[in-house]
Chains A and B, each alone.
Chain A
Amino acid sequence: MKRVYVNEEWCLGCHLCEYNCAFANSGKPDMATALKGKPIYPRIHIEENDKISYAVSCRHCTDPICVKSCIAGALRQEDGVIRIDREKCVGCLTCVLVCPYGALAPDGDGVMQKCELCLQNSCGEPACVTGCPNRAIVYEER
């Protein structure tokens, strides 16, 4: 299965992936309308310090601990992709607790959201990958 991988060596810490992610999942026609003057809730995050930076998003684990732990049955695995049913989420944050990558986070309303590889939005392929200026984020079979 194709997954999003990050080559830390080439990550510039520019944070463009976060904005491209938030825009791709906004349903708005342009980025300024979607993101101007608002806090953003991207599904990919840059981890960084002075020397190193890399993006982290859902690894789509083959044996996903988040799915097992979800008390509401909102998380499920579908063709290898970990999907979330936001209608079912009760905002208990158990998935946040168990995910070893810190890949899940609530949106502004407290409902959990996570990377679904842009398969469900208008982008069609991961926006973080297409927008990465240095090919640090790739979408490939490994």
Chain B
Amino acid sequence: MSAVDFIFPEFEVVRNSDRCIACRVCERQCSNKVHSYNEERGAMLSDETKCVNCQRCVSLCPTRALKIIKSDCTFRENANWQPDTIKQVYRQASSGGVLLSAMGNPKPQPVYWDRILINASQVTNPSIDPLREPMETRVFLGKKPSRTERGPDGKLKTELSPQIDLSMPVMFSAMSYGSISYNAHASLARAAEALGICYNTGEGGLHEDFYRYGKNTIVQVASGRFGVHKDYLEAGAAIEIKMGQGAKPGIGGHLPGTKIVGDVSRTRMIPEGSDAISPAPHHDIYSIEDLRQLVYSLKEATAYRKPVIVKVAAVHNIAAIASGIARSGADIIAIDGYRGGTGAAPTLIRENVGIPIELALAAVDSRLRDEGIRGNVSLVVGGSIRSAADVVKAIALGADACYVATAALLALGCHLCRTCNTGNCNWGIATQRPELVKRLNPDIGSERLINLMTAWRHEIMELMGGMGINSIEALKGNRMMLRGVGLNEKELGILGISHAGE
């Protein structure tokens, strides 16, 4: 190892020796083997080089003796060459490889949600108290009829295309069994059922134990076609074709063979130990016409009883792409913004490819309205929806519902250490090691997810009530309820909102 390979550890483990009782809980709980016990000194030691700052030891230390802090060992200050950039160069010079990272883009690019403000009623229009008056958060996703039609007998035709029925405009987005653990999936499935919403299998197939949550499950068909068979397609409330993912638009996926063990291998229908490689494109889709074929193949296979979702990453010409998808026969378009999470992606792609979901959503909604085809599809957006306020802003910008994944993982214990790709998740989420998987008890996990979504539902109702709106339908695309702050003309134009004060 050359001397330049040494990179000073990013974090310091600070142990308060007055408090530490050497119970060794930190040592037992750290899958990265940071902590160790020194018999001779009767004291705990730590090896910071291995620390990923997942906070597991901090959370479980019974005497609060531990904290993890950012190391203050610095390179010479340089506004152009930031420490992360310098370290990336060192790592690549040492390994010759593409750098990988996990979860969403951590770079300080603009978060448009934070520059959009929500309206409230004062004096001239009454606000509504959701605790005293009825408030509707239920939504249906799918094709909506553009006009009323009557049969030969003069009676209204009331049969709709298949719809997804949600108690609130939020769903848990796609995370495959394999990228996350059995217990994480169990938590999501149970919570989705209790909440009356949906979770999403991701592209890893559906574990046989979870077929009973079918009416709250969206089954995904991705480019690797892992785990896809007739019963799988029949099992869900809807079928999602994954064309792209916000964290890594334009590239496929790679679940290493070490994670393809036991049930993961059976569920994916691939041999144990083989790498699960999802190609970048679907090899049978090179045009909207090809996409239409897959949409109708899936509809045919399920007797036209399931809505079909097409999920794409938010990229430059997303409006035109969405327009094509809306004409392909798909019932729902899901758009994933560039801040969306992932189990593993090339760092460079995560941080430099794609566009913000706020702009993509506004552009798509406007385009579909202009073309008179907005009713052909419902719009679902994801890629860092962090709170009920983000949900309300998304609905007002034109979304029908939101996809939430990172917030759901946080509810399960994730501390965003962004090392999912190592498979050593100390919180039992992004791992297949049995001794780590068991750290996530789905009784606790599902309870916490239910709590989070219940809280968000209350907040959505409070925000709607404040605006004097009593149903999600009346908020949808209601951009008059939004104002921008600190945005330029172009940004306001794309978002289709006025500036605060206007």
Binding site for B on A (CB under 8 A): 9-10, 12-16, 19-20, 23, 30-32, 35-37, 131, 133-136
Q: Name which residue of chain B comes closest to A31, CB basis.
A: B63
Q: Is the pair B28, A14 in contact by a Cβ cutoff of 8 Å?
A: yes
| Residues in B neighbouring A136, C-beta threshold 8 A | 441
B18, B435, B438, B441: the one within 8 Å of A32 (CB): B18
Report the Cα distance A93→B411, complex, angstroms. 48
Q: Is the pair B443, A135 in contact by a Cβ cutoff of 8 Å?
A: yes
A14, A19, A135: the one within 8 Å of B21 (CB): A19
B18, B60, B65: the one within 8 Å of A133 (CB): B60
Report the Cα distance A31→B19, complex, angstroms. 8
Binding site for A on B (CB under 8 A): 18-21, 23-25, 28-29, 42, 59-60, 62-63, 65, 435, 438-439, 441, 443-444
Report the Cα distance A133→B18, complex, angstroms. 24
Q: Is the pair B438, A14 in contact by a Cβ cutoff of 8 Å?
A: no
| Residues in B neighbouring A31, C-beta threshold 8 A | 21, 62-63
| Residues in A neighbouring B60, C-beta threshold 8 A | 14, 16, 133
Q: Is the pair A16, B25 in contact by a Cβ cutoff of 8 Å?
A: yes
Q: Is the pair B444, A134 in contact by a Cβ cutoff of 8 Å?
A: yes
Q: Is the pair B23, A134 in contact by a Cβ cutoff of 8 Å?
A: no
Known: A16-B62, A133-B60, A135-B443. Is A10-B438 also a contact (CB below 8 A)?
A: yes
Interface centre among B42, B59, B62, B439, by most A CB within 10 Å? Answer: B62
| Residues in A neighbouring B444, C-beta threshold 8 A | 134-135
Interface of B is mostly: loop
Report the Cα distance A112→B365, complex, angstroms. 73
Q: Is the pair A20, B62 in contact by a Cβ cutoff of 8 Å?
A: yes
- Shortest CB distance B24–A (Å): 7
Interface centre among B18, B21, B28, by most A CB within 10 Å? Answer: B21
| Residues in B neighbouring A30, C-beta threshold 8 A | 63
Q: Name which residue of chain B comes closest to A134, CB basis.
A: B441
A12, A16, A20, A131: the one within 8 Å of B439 (CB): A12
B18, B29, B443: the one within 8 Å of A12 (CB): B29
Q: Name which residue of chain B comes closest to A20, CB basis.
A: B62
| Residues in B neighbouring A12, C-beta threshold 8 A | 28-29, 435, 438-439
Q: Name which residue of chain A comes closest to B17, CB basis.
A: A36
Q: Is the pair A32, B19 in contact by a Cβ cutoff of 8 Å?
A: yes
Q: Is the pair B63, A32 in contact by a Cβ cutoff of 8 Å?
A: yes
- Shortest CB distance A132–B (Å): 10
| Residues in B neighbouring A131, C-beta threshold 8 A | 62
Known: A20-B62, A37-B42. Is A10-B441 also a contact (CB below 8 A)?
A: yes
Residue pairs across A and B with Cβ atoms less than 8 A apart, 22 shown, are A10-B438, A12-B29, A12-B435, A12-B438, A15-B25, A15-B28, A16-B23, A16-B25, A16-B60, A16-B62, A19-B23, A19-B62, A31-B21, A32-B19, A32-B20, A32-B63, A32-B65, A35-B21, A36-B19, A37-B42, A135-B441, A135-B444
